[in-house]
Amino acid sequence: VEVDALESRFEAWTLRAAADAPDPIALRGLIHLGSATEVISDAAIDISEGVLREIDVHPVVQLAVEESDEIITRVEVDPSSDLDGTAIVGGVPNTESTMSVIAIRRPGDGWLLVGDADAEIRGDDVLISKGTRTAAAAFEELAAS
């Protein structure tokens, strides 16, 4: 929903910019870029729904995930853990872990899409993150301790 609104604002900005552009046709690429970003975002949400709802996936998808270098994890942050109060800068928590946070589900606030943005991890947050299996294990320990 948030990306849909951003796409609409981006398209409106592009159309307003076209009024001052020497060649408005050159801005068509920006419209395509905004549309593609929205499609990718929707696909990412569809994929993450399976993770969040712990739905079984097709065996071929399961094999592809098992062979991948990076995995996507879901971690709940204990309020007394080392992650509580940790800053996220450019999508990466300020920790020894190399995990990247994709999204945060915050009690009472809903979902916050982090991507490359800055945020702060709070106790009781549910983090959707990506990284190697080793980094994921260390990250889960940080969230629990």
Residue 140 near residue 78, CB atoms below 8 Å: no
Flag whether 63 is in a domain.
no
3-class DSSP state for residue 102?
strand
Q: Helices H, strands E: what count in the chain?
A: 4, 7
Flag whether 117 is in a domain.
yes
Flag whether 109 is in a domain.
yes
Q: Residue 81: what pLDDT?
A: 94
The Cα-based distances of 105 to 14, 57, 79, 98 in angstroms read 31, 23, 14, 20
Q: Residue 52: what pLDDT?
A: 66
Flag whether 61 is in a domain.
no
Categorise residue 14: left if φ over 0, alpha if ψ from -120 to 50, beta otherwise. Answer: alpha
Domain of residue 31, residue span: 2-55
Q: Residue 34: what pLDDT?
A: 84
In the beta sheet, which residues pair with residue 119?
A: 88
Please tell me whether residues 30 and 6 are part of one structural domain: yes
Task: Please give the torsion angle defined by the CA atoms of residues 2, 117, 139 and 37, in that order, rounded to the nearest 10 degrees.
Answer: 50
pLDDT tens for each residue of the chain, 145 residues long:
577 788 888 889 999 999 998 988 888 888 888 888 888 887 777 777 766 676 777 778 777 767 778 888 899 999 999 899 999 988 788 888 789 998 899 998 888 888 767 889 999 999 999 988 889 999 999 999 7
Please tell me whether residues 88 and 128 are part of one structural domain: yes
